[in-house]
Structure 1
Amino acid sequence: MSSTLLFFIVLAAMALAYYIGRQRAIGVVGGVSQINRLHSLPSYYGYYAALLVGLPAMLLLLLWVGLQGQILTALTLAELPPEVTADLSEGQLSLLTSDIRNLASGNLMGRDPSPAVEAAAARFQQLQQIATLSLWALTGAVVLAGMAWAWQHTKPSFRARNRVESILMLVMILFSLIAILTTLGIVLSVLFESIRFFQMVPWTEFLFGTRWSPQIALRAEQVGASGAFGAIPLFTGTLLISFIAMLLAVPVGLLSAVYLAEYAPRKVRAWAKPVLEILAGIPTVVYGFFAALTVAPFFRDLGQSVGLDVASESALAAGLVMGIMIVPFVSSLSEDVINAVPQSLRDGSYALGATQSETIRRIIFPAALPGIVGGVLLAVSRAIGETMIVVMAAGLAANLTANPLASVTTVTVQIVTLLTGDQEFDSAKTLAAFALGLTLFVVTLVLNVIALHIVRKYREQYD
């Protein structure tokens, strides 16, 4: 009796409640011919019954599934003999909990469990069965109570439509608050950890330092782990790779958008645009493999043939492949903006004797320029936040260079590197990832705000 099965049963109960509520509304007025006596359409009475049945049951199921594991674990550990849990660290207690859970679920342990662990696993399994039966019983009671409430309140004067709209409004407000609070929680968590980092490392060193080596010495005699947190090489590498990507993505994306919007026949546009947008659906790790196994060796061999020193992992390879990935973003957004330019502007230009190319250059492109700039800035944000391609094609070396043939790294790559593996969140090395994340968040937020400002400011200029 899994929670998934119960979820689908609740959905079926909602469908049944809708049917019963609708039929009940029709029945209280004496049939279909008398539904004009109802305040609302019969379907609203069905929606009201379905919402009363489904929403409380879904909320109960969500809370139960989310809290059941913690409550059962706490009850099981509380019943263990004191000598079993005495003098256990937090990690050891977590390991003991995992052993109890694994044994209760039937997974064999790598070692023979102690009698206390076996008893705890049996108790945990027993509590799980009790919790499951209780969940089913409570859910059934909530469903029946909701159906009884809807049945009792189904009267000709009942404002079912108003109640349904109010309930849906509350649901939308709730989900909006969840989205806002989630974003706020992410920002605050990154901010608080960044503050801890800046208490260890001065923010001036982080923002203006030119050496990045986040290894902290564990012993006084340890060599090569002094810890340098100057993020300028990371910012430089990020800007270099993003600049190379945009050099490819912007011209190719804009020209393809102009062709598809103004020159391409309808049949060509029907298949060319979906094919172009397939590039946006390819996983970035695939682009990374392509860059590491094909593009980077090609540029390395090409550089050797002409006497240039090209790194095996270069900013040029990562930037070009990233540009290919971003082309659909620029192309799709630009085409939509170009198509949104009023046809009257085109007709007026043609009526004055302008050619199609002149109309595009002097009328359509200036009219669509704010939207195009907004799309390009959004594409820049996408390039700055890319990780997998840079990890696989540009390397991990934090070099302060503007040479596209050299190996560089970016902010996102260092975040992944610093948080990979088992880490202690009390060291400057790990907390540096949050400072980098906060910086990246601020940069992308500024770019998105600029893009939205440009679009909103000039959107209705040609309407």
Structure 2
Amino acid sequence: MPLTWLILILFALAGLGYVAGRSRALRSADGDPRKLHSLPAFYGWNAALSGLMPALVLLALWLFVQPMLIESRISGHVPADLIPDGSSRDLVMSDIRRAAHGLDKAVQTQLISAEAADRLNGDSTDLRALMGQVGIAIGNDIEPRVLAAAQQYRKLDSAAGRWMWGAVLAVALAGLGLALKRTHKGFRARNTVERGILALLILAASIAILTTLGIVLSMLFETRNFFGLHSWTDFFFGATWAPNFRGDSELSFLPLLWGTLYVSLIALAVAVPVGLFAAIYLSEYASKAMRAVAKPLLEILAGIPTIVYGLFALLTVGPMLVNVFGRGEDGLLGVDWMAGATSVLTAGVVMGIMLVPFVSSLSDDIINAVPQSLRDGSFGLGATQSETVRQVVLPAALPGIVGAVLLAASRAIGETMIVVMGAGAIAKFSLNPLESMTTITTRIVSQLTGDTDFASPETLVAFALGLTLFVLTLGLNVLALYIVRTYREQYE
């Protein structure tokens, strides 16, 4: 049965638990709520949460652990001769999962019976004939033993699913029964519910922390594998990026880091003046009516998908720059400096446009946070509005504005789609903004695209690049938060 049904059943049991717990508490007090330690609703919530939360936690853990256990068991029985030279066991497991999914899909749509799928016992000829008859595409060259493993995978997954249903429902009923047994007029239901809600909030915060920790650890382990296959001195101190998947690659991240910083610098050169001036206008000069219209329109830029910005760079900004810098005597300047539409300048300008709402919104909030008493004191000394903005408001808001710029810089460093479509894919050192370059994020996508072998340094280098990018953006975010907190300590 679908997992959705199990979740709906759990919530239905929680609803019944709420009604039963509330009613049981009132009966213990002879129908008088004043005799209860807590409000009647707390007794209902105690019963509902006691049945629901342990079951959901068990369900989440089961769904996380079950695939790993099944794949570990199946993977251990995959013959070594099924793994092609230079490939990995993960590729074979991918074929097994795909074939098992094909069996499940055929059974669920009643194109073949579950008995027909189970009785084949690895007879791949009959299985392929059946799958061909029902039109399920599992591949024309799947090895017979892979199909047998897929059949075993499906059996284990079905058995584990049945055990999951039984265990989760048993835990839900046990928790509900225990809560109802403890329900009486003297039970401190409010305290129990509040502790449960506190535990739920701590769990939610822990999930965010553990997710970040898991991301970092996954990158660390794969980065360690990369440095076991490739020299760390070439990665950190080399000058060439040239992966060729033949074992003699040069994989230095310095050309990628230069392209990343160069594109981000141009983006900030566009976004910071425009965004800051827009924030000053909206905060200090615009009327309420104008502000109510202009600020939402400006922030619409933040909601546009980055792929749209990439198309804008490729189809509009790039050709426009070529008309100016790259058509020789036919161009506006009569020069031929730009060979194609992709360049650092193209990606930087478009990325700067994308960052304008980030800078303007954060700067606007920071400028508005400057106490009005500072403005009034400046006006009282005879300063004009422009002098007050230049000599009082901006110096007071400067730490917060710097923090906003650093946050925008970390956003620019992590951008991918605009760079892919606007800057090109050449890793090199150059000061010419009209040439094509690439960035760390673009190379990560490139190295993990297609049929990749996760045992080669040319693929594992993506994780080393990701860890480097993570450290770089983390440093910028920490610096920005430090500056903002210092600002708040001074002006709040």
Normalised-by-shorter TM-score class:
0.7 to 0.9
**Pairs within 5 Å for 1:37-186:** 37-69=35-67, 87-89=81-83, 90=89, 91-92=91-92, 95-96=95-96, 98-106=98-106, 107=136, 109-111=138-140, 132=161, 134-186=163-215
User: 2:272 pairs with 250, 268, 271, which one?
Assistant: 250
Does the C-alpha gap of structure 1 residues 458 and 66 become closer, same or farther in structure 2, counting only changes over 3 Å? closer
User: 1:310 pairs with 328, 332, 338, which one?
Assistant: 338
For 1:191, the aligned partner's letter is L
Specify the alignment match of 1:12 in structure 2.
Answer: 12
Q: CA deviation at 1:39?
A: 2.2
User: 1:386 pairs with 405, 415, 422, which one?
Assistant: 415
Q: CA deviation at 1:241?
A: 0.7
CA contact 1:104–1:124 (8 Å) conserved in 2: no
**What per-residue deviation string (whole Å, max 9, x for no partner) do you get for residues 326-371 of structure 1?**
1111111111111112222222222333222222222221221111
Does the C-alpha gap of structure 1 residues 251 and 111 become closer, same or farther in structure 2, counting only changes over 3 Å? closer
Q: CA deviation at 1:187?
A: 1.6
Specify the alignment match of 1:348 in structure 2.
Answer: 377
Does the C-alpha gap of structure 1 residues 291 and 62 become closer, same or farther in structure 2, counting only changes over 3 Å? same
CA contact 1:330–1:376 (8 Å) conserved in 2: yes
Of 101-110 and 328-337, deviating more is 101-110
1:426 match: secondary structure: coil
> Separation in 2 of the partners of 1:214 and 1:192?
21
CA contact 1:334–1:371 (8 Å) conserved in 2: yes
Does the C-alpha gap of structure 1 residues 359 and 42 become closer, same or farther in structure 2, counting only changes over 3 Å? farther
**Pairs within 5 Å for 1:214-363:** 214-217=243-246, 226-303=248-325, 304=327, 305=331, 306=333, 307-312=335-340, 313-363=342-392
**What per-residue deviation string (whole Å, max 9, x for no partner) do you get for residues 259-313 of structure 1?**
1122222222222222211111111111111101111111012112121311321
Of 330-339 and 19-28, deviating more is 19-28
Specify the alignment match of 1:23 in structure 2.
Answer: 23
> Separation in 2 of the partners of 1:406 and 1:446?
29
CA contact 1:101–1:124 (8 Å) conserved in 2: no
Does the C-alpha gap of structure 1 residues 361 and 117 become closer, same or farther in structure 2, counting only changes over 3 Å? closer
User: 1:397 pairs with 426, 430, 442, which one?
Assistant: 426
**What per-residue deviation string (whole Å, max 9, x for no partner) do you get for residues 26-47 of structure 1?**
332233xx43332222222222
Unmatched segments (≥5 aa) in structure 2: 84-88, 107-135
Does the C-alpha gap of structure 1 residues 120 and 411 become closer, same or farther in structure 2, counting only changes over 3 Å? closer
Does the C-alpha gap of structure 1 residues 71 and 398 become closer, same or farther in structure 2, counting only changes over 3 Å? closer
> Separation in 1 of the partners of 2:449 and 2:62?
33
Does the C-alpha gap of structure 1 residues 435 and 88 become closer, same or farther in structure 2, counting only changes over 3 Å? closer
2:489 match: secondary structure: coil
CA contact 1:254–1:330 (8 Å) conserved in 2: yes
2:227 match: secondary structure: helix
> Separation in 1 of the partners of 2:103 and 2:479?
55
CA contact 2:99–2:147 (8 Å) conserved in 1: no
> Separation in 1 of the partners of 2:285 and 2:10?
53
Identity of aligned residues (%): 53
Unmatched segments (≥5 aa) in structure 1: 219-225
1:148 match: secondary structure: helix
Specify the alignment match of 2:482 in structure 1.
Answer: 453
For 1:15, the aligned partner's letter is G
Does the C-alpha gap of structure 1 residues 366 and 16 become closer, same or farther in structure 2, counting only changes over 3 Å? farther
Q: CA deviation at 1:410?
A: 0.9
For 1:43, the aligned partner's letter is A
Does the C-alpha gap of structure 1 residues 102 and 265 become closer, same or farther in structure 2, counting only changes over 3 Å? same
TM-score normalised by the chain length of structure 1: 0.87
Does the C-alpha gap of structure 1 residues 75 and 425 become closer, same or farther in structure 2, counting only changes over 3 Å? closer
Does the C-alpha gap of structure 1 residues 308 and 76 become closer, same or farther in structure 2, counting only changes over 3 Å? closer
1:460 match: secondary structure: helix
> Separation in 1 of the partners of 2:26 and 2:139?
64
Aligned residue pairs, count = 450
Of 449-458 and 356-365, deviating more is 356-365
For 2:313, the aligned partner's letter is A
Q: CA deviation at 1:228?
A: 2.0
Specify the alignment match of 1:222 in structure 2.
Answer: none
Q: CA deviation at 1:391?
A: 0.6
> Separation in 2 of the partners of 1:48 and 1:189?
38
